[in-house]
Structure 1
Amino acid sequence: MRDSFHSELESLREQLSAMCAQAVEALRSAGRAVLEADHELAERVVAADREIDLARDRCDETAQRLLALQAPVASDLRLVITAVHCADKIERMGDLAAHIADTARLAHPACVVPAELTGAVTELGTVAAGMADRLVELLREPRSGGYAQLNETDQTVDAIHAELMNRITDTSWAYGIPSATSLALLVRFYERFADQAVSVAKRLDFACTGIMAA
């Protein structure tokens, strides 16, 4: 019985890591769609979000089966509940990637990012995607300390987000209110994507240690 439980738990870990890999690929594709004003790519990212939703549903089904049939003890129960939380957060990461792609789709044929801000938006996307890459590794091989690492990296995301918001809201902004609104939403989606990654890492630390970080 315990061998069966741990086999299914390993399967659940693999489902979560694959789901996170889908989310980070969606983020990178959405970023390219935004910076290149690629309407077709944006459409594909938005459509593919359904696959991440279905992956979340499969994770939930696996978790429910484990709870119903395996009667996990406290430490194992913590792992299953963590997986349910992580699946929801990763699904949200996929939603946010789709929202980023949607900004490209709605702005087409124009590019939502002014040329002077391309570097900062590119860096924002690169750092957020790197956080998700690290999360894929932690989901495959859980170990404590991942939360502290991603939380520290998230400070970089927050700093870039703040810098861009300062530029957008400055009185010297020359691209109009609609452009400012679209760009503000775009960078907020990136910032929230990174926050969700941190939330997953925090829960993974809890699963490993039994202690929830403050």
Structure 2
Amino acid sequence: MREAFHGELAQLGEQLDAMCGLAAEAMRRATQALLDTDLALAERVVADDDELDRHRGACEDHAQKLLALQAPVAGDLRTILAALYCAEIIERMGDLAAHIAATVRFNHPEPAIPPSLRDLFATLGQRAGDMAIHLRGLISGFSPDGFAEMDRLDDAVDALHAEVMATVTGTDWSDGVRTATNVALLARFYERFADQAVSAARRLDFATTGTLPN
């Protein structure tokens, strides 16, 4: 009985891992669409967000059945509750990637960001994607650095976000109010994507240790 139950827990982890993979790919594609002003790719990111929503529903159904039928306690209970929490968080990460793609679509055929910020947003996309990939490692248990590494990656995203905001609010900004608004919103989407990954990592750490990290 316990062996079957732990097999179900492993399957739940695999579902979360698949969701993280979809969120990471959505961020990669959304960033590429942003950098290339690629309408077709942006449309695909927006359309594919439905798949992540379906995965979230399946993950939640699985977790709720385990809660109802197995009456888990202690560590197993924390694991299932963490899975429920993380499924919602990862789905939000996908939504944020879709928001980036939707901004590309709204501004097309004009680019949503000026050429001067292209490298900054390319780095933001890389760092945010790295966080989703690191989250996969936490889910699978193959990330020895755990929450500390996720916190470090988040600091890097925060620094990039601050650099973008300093640029658009500086006296040298010459690309207009509309572009400044786009840039600020886009930078916020990346920053929120990173924050969601940290939130999920914190809950996973709690499921393992029983103590929330600072």
The TM-score with structure 2 as length reference comes to 0.97
Matched with 1:119 is 119
Amino-acid identity (%): 53
Matched with 1:3 is 3
Equivalent pair of 1:144/1:209 in contact (CA under 8 Å) = no
Matched with 2:87 is 87
How many Å separate the matches in 1 of 2:178 and 2:145?
Answer: 42
SS at match of 1:152: helix
1:2 deviation in Å? 1.1
Which blocks of at least 5 consecutive residues in structure 1 are unaligned? none
How many Å separate the matches in 2 of 1:142 and 1:118?
Answer: 33
Give the aligned residue type for 2:31.
Answer: G
Alignment of 1:65-80 (within 5 A): 65-80=65-80
How many Å separate the matches in 2 of 1:145 and 1:213?
Answer: 13
* 1:59-93, Cα deviation, whole Å (9 max, x unpaired): 10000000010111211101000100110110000
Give the aligned residue type for 1:26.
Answer: A
Matched with 1:201 is 201
SS at match of 2:190: helix
1:145 deviation in Å? 4.4
1:172 deviation in Å? 2.1
SS at match of 2:12: helix
Q: Which moved more, 1:143-152 or 1:121-130?
A: 143-152
Matched with 2:137 is 137
Matched with 2:46 is 46
Matched with 1:172 is 172
Would you say how many aligned residue pairs link Structure 1 and Structure 2? Answer: 214
Matched with 2:152 is 152
SS at match of 2:153: helix
Which blocks of at least 5 consecutive residues in structure 2 are unaligned? none
Matched with 1:64 is 64
1:137 deviation in Å? 1.6
Alignment of 1:12-27 (within 5 A): 12-27=12-27
1:144 deviation in Å? 6.7
Give the aligned residue type for 2:42.
Answer: A
How many Å separate the matches in 1 of 2:157 and 2:28?
Answer: 15
Equivalent pair of 1:112/1:182 in contact (CA under 8 Å) = yes
1:136 deviation in Å? 1.0
